[in-house]
Structures are given as structure tokens and as C-alpha cells.
Amino acid sequence: MLKGKVALVTGSTSGIGLAMARALAAKGADIMLNGFGDEGEIEAIRAGIADEFGIGAAYNAADMSSGEECAGLVRAARAELGDCDILVNNAGIQHTAPIEEFPVERWEAIIAINLSQSFHTIRAALPGMYEKGWGRIVNIASVHGRVASVNKAAYVAAKHGLVGLTKVVALEAAGRGVTCNAICPGWVLTPLIQAQVDLRATEKGLTQEEAKADLLAEKQPSKQFATTEQVGGLAAFLCSPAADQITGQELGIDGGWTAQ
């Protein structure tokens, strides 16, 4: 379905980002990976995706807190694989604290990576998409792009902003063959969420399984984590012909969280 297309996925060396890269590669897209980690492990991931799916795969370590490096990542993808047809903005970080105690530097970092990153990559990628008359932009927001939780001021602000940015880009790109949508996952058992499980287990004296159940019961009515593969599958669907008229949407994978 996506053979001949180039997909750039930020924050794709683990978790949701890697699952989306694999889902797009399975449909035939060439993949530009991005993220931090051990160089040897990342190379094994890159080579494994290329071999398993018979596609071109490259890696770039651009820092998504830097606007110039975000734009440079789009240029690097173009140089190594071709113009970016599919852009998935996934890179994100988290910090929790009451707002009066929230470190200013953590606020700045979260806004830069979770929100401004997408502005910079979209700005760099859109001209090529317009020239081709086809493009897909998928922003990984969060359930916290739709509702709030305590102690997550920067994350909630950034993700709400990302949903708004998604809608503006969708309107500006309408009629030019380019769609822009946001995926809003609830609890997905990634390293980011595992850290919250670990903290809960320590603070409440719970086992890992008890801490997971406690976390899910608080927000997610299905009482099950969404999977990275489910998020990847939705991203791939949004790049399919069936989704040609889906744009400007915030699509939840949250086990009923925001239905309450």
C-alpha cells in the first residue's frame, strides 16, 4: 500500500514510535528512524526492519528539542531516502509535579519536544508534500490532549496545543492531498508509563501487577492497557486510501477514558 513512500517517525527507537515505524514498513514504506539509545541496539533495529520488510531504513539522532535539528531531520530523510511523504510526530517526554513546584526547565523541555517539535517538522515537510499532492501527517498527542490530570501542567498544555496545531494544519492543507490527524492514546505500557507504575508500586507498597491494575482502574474503564501495535495499526490506517477524507481529527485509543 505504501511502497515508494518515505515515512519519518520521530522518537522511533522504542515504544509507540518503533511500533508505528514497523507498521508503516510492513505496508512498504521506507523509514527514517529517530531517537536516543545505544548505537549498537539502534543499528540492530534499523537493519532488522530493513531486512524483515525489504524496505530502505535510515537513522538520524537529531535532538527534537532543537527547532533547527527538527528541520534538519526532514532534510536528512530527503537526502537519504527521498521526500517525506508520511510524517509521524511521536517524540515526547514527561515530568509530574504540582504547578507551583514545577521546574521551569522541565516546562521548557516538554513544550519544546512535545509541541514545538511538530511545528518545526511539519513546517519543513509540508512544501514537499504539497509539491507531490500527497502527504500524511500523524501527530501522537495523548488522552491528555483532550482531558487533564493533576500534576501534568506542561504535558497537558503541550498535548492540547498539539491537537490544536493538528486542526490548523488540516484546514490549511485541505484540498491539497495532505491530511493531518492526531492519535490520542490512553494508558499504553511504554517505558514512560512503566515509570509511573514503578512509582505507584513504591509509594503504595504494591506489586507490579497490583500497581498496573490500580493505575488502570483510576482512568481507563476497559481495565486493559492499549498496545503499541494498536497505535501503530491506527497510524497505518490513517495513511491508507480508506482515510483520505479523515483529517483534523483527534482519534482516541483510550479504553473508554474520555467517554466518561
Q: Which of 107, 155, 187, 225 is catalytic?
A: 155
Of the candidates 242, 29, 15, 56, the one whose C-alpha atom is nearest the C-alpha of residue 140 is: 15
Residue at 66 is within a domain: yes
Residues 203 and 145 in one domain: no
Residues 182 and 206 in one domain: no
Residues 116 and 193 in one domain: no
Residues 53 and 112 in one domain: yes
CA separation for the pair 68, 125 (Å, rounded)? 13
Residue at 243 is within a domain: yes
What pLDDT, in 10s, does the model give residues 116-171?
999 999 999 999 999 999 999 999 999 999 999 999 999 999 999 999 999 999 99
Grid coordinates in use for 198?
514503578
Residues of the chain with pLDDT under 50: none
Decide: helix, strand or coil at residue 137: strand
Residues 203 and 99 in one domain: no
| CB-side neighbour CA atoms (13 Å) of 226 | 27
Residues 167 and 96 in one domain: yes
Grid coordinates in use for 92?
515526547
Residues 94 and 144 in one domain: yes
> What is the reported pLDDT for 190?
85
At residue 88, what are phi and psi to the nearest 5 degrees? -115, 115
**Is residue 185 within 8 Å of 145, Cβ to Cβ?**
no
Note if the pTM is more than 0.75.
Answer: yes
Residue at 204 is within a domain: yes
Residues 202 and 136 in one domain: no
Number of compact structural domains in the chain: 2
Q: What angle do CA 245, 139, 164 make, to 5 degrees?
A: 80
Residue at 1 is within a domain: no
Residues 136 and 218 in one domain: no
Domain that holds residue 218: 189-225
> What is the reported pLDDT for 195?
86
Look up 155 and say whether it is catalytic. yes
Residues 113 and 217 in one domain: no
**Is residue 20 within 8 Å of 232, Cβ to Cβ?**
yes
Decide: helix, strand or coil at residue 189: coil
> What is the reported pLDDT for 184?
98
Residue at 135 is within a domain: yes
Residues 10 and 34 in one domain: yes
Residues 212 and 231 in one domain: no
CA separation for the pair 103, 105 (Å, rounded)? 5
**Is residue 48 within 8 Å of 75, Cβ to Cβ?**
no
CA separation for the pair 77, 6 (Å, rounded)? 8
Residue 89: CATH number of its domain: 3.40.50.720
> What is the reported pLDDT for 12?
96
List of residues 6+ apart from 245 with CB closer than 8 A? none
Tell me the residue length of the chain. Answer: 260
